[in-house]
Chain A
């Protein structure tokens, strides 16, 4: 999972390998960011397509996987912004591909939405994607030293927002 590229340019075969191996986690993170599974899937497919198109420009300074994660997160953030523009404030995003626990999930979504975006992303990438602090730092664009405190703040805030921690 945690590789480094030795030379410039990414091979299509390697992109495909990472995609096939990681698609479940890609979609899960993207769905958390966009707010629904279908938009998450679209974001992932678009992101990987962008990586395929731009593979010759991969400089190998970081891992191919981190590069693809960055593309997925950026695509999902764009998708979320598009959805926000399209929806009026009183209309919720479509519920597609979710298990039937709408009230509880809506409460969680409201709580998670209350977190700063950077905290949300760190939380998603740590939990759903199991990325290291260094990888999260590379994907989100922050120093690795601030990932831990950001993650801790996110957890504390979320617990308070969910009413599970009165401290």
Chain B
């Protein structure tokens, strides 16, 4: 599916969900008046490769140039922070997180044994990414700092046309040492069943996480079919100092052969600075 405005995509997903019908070629032949399963004829039409890749490359080039211009604007606007896709000042850009989220963060340390508490400062939690996903849902990623320089995250799904949350995502924390030592921390959420063949049957499929690498200016996901898409990065200022991402995997990438396989972080020049080829590959190439 081509990318449209999220509101339009959600509406179209709701209007006509994926068809679960298996092809019935015998029925087609019967309707055509053919006698049952007609023998397959020798091909008279030779299928030629498409002539579109060149055009696609041009479009990709334009997108890349547009992204570069956007990044330059951000860079010029925020010289002290460097070249980032989006800068989020934790205590200036957002209201405190709602009480249930604060309580959720607070609960992380309840009963934690000595030395095992996260030290999360729940009252400083903020929503840093809010995004529409399929099925009329919105997901919010909350981030809260810890007393030792790390941070904790939590996701929450909410129906766009209702008040309360429909599902709380998991919460997790990273120490500063972990952020410094490991570029990526990625979580993949698959709420629904997966067919025996490995096709995901129900969304939203969410890939979210954080990147602690200061040079990371952009992020892209590569699929098994070789195509790529850019994932917006949101950099959160001190005391977090990390970038966050939330990506709802489009339905066209739910089946084996086109599922996400690797996340690639690039610097401002487009050079790869880190990749996560474990989190996605493990999930998507091992059907449950």
Point out residues on A near B: beta carbons under 8 Å.
1-7, 9-14, 16, 19-20, 23-25, 27-29, 31-32, 37, 40-41, 45-46, 48-50, 52-53, 58, 60, 64, 97-99, 101, 104-105, 108-109, 111-112, 123-124, 126-128, 130, 132, 151, 154-155, 158-159, 162, 164-165
B25 touches A20 (CB 8 A): yes
Closest to B11 in A: A108
Q: How many residues of B contact A (CB 8 A)?
A: 48
By a CB distance below 8 angstroms, the chain B residues around A10 are 44-45
17 A-B pairs (CB sep. < 8 Å): A2-B52, A5-B45, A6-B46, A16-B40, A29-B16, A32-B16, A40-B16, A41-B21, A45-B27, A45-B28, A48-B32, A49-B31, A99-B17, A101-B14, A108-B11, A128-B1, A154-B8
Partner of B16, one of A9, A28, A46, A111: A28
By a CB distance below 8 angstroms, the chain A residues around B24 are 45
A127 touches B41 (CB 8 A): no
Across the A-B interface, how many residue pairs have beta carbons closer than 8 Å? Answer: 152
Instruction: Tell whether B232 is near chain A: CB-to-CB under 8 Å.
Output: no
Point out residues on B near A: beta carbons under 8 Å.
1-2, 4-5, 7-9, 11-12, 14-25, 27-34, 38, 40-52, 55, 135-136, 161, 252
Q: B132 CB to closest chain A CB, in angstroms?
A: 9
List 11 additional contacts besides A11-B44, A48-B32; criterion CB under 8 Å.
A2-B50, A13-B41, A14-B43, A19-B23, A23-B21, A31-B19, A52-B32, A127-B4, A127-B9, A155-B8, A159-B7
By a CB distance below 8 angstroms, the chain A residues around B252 are 130
A28 touches B32 (CB 8 A): no
B1 touches A11 (CB 8 A): no
B45 touches A6 (CB 8 A): yes
B7 touches A165 (CB 8 A): yes
- In Å, the complex CA distance between A40 and B34 comes to 22
Closest to A99 in B: B17
- In Å, the complex CA distance between A33 and B101 comes to 42
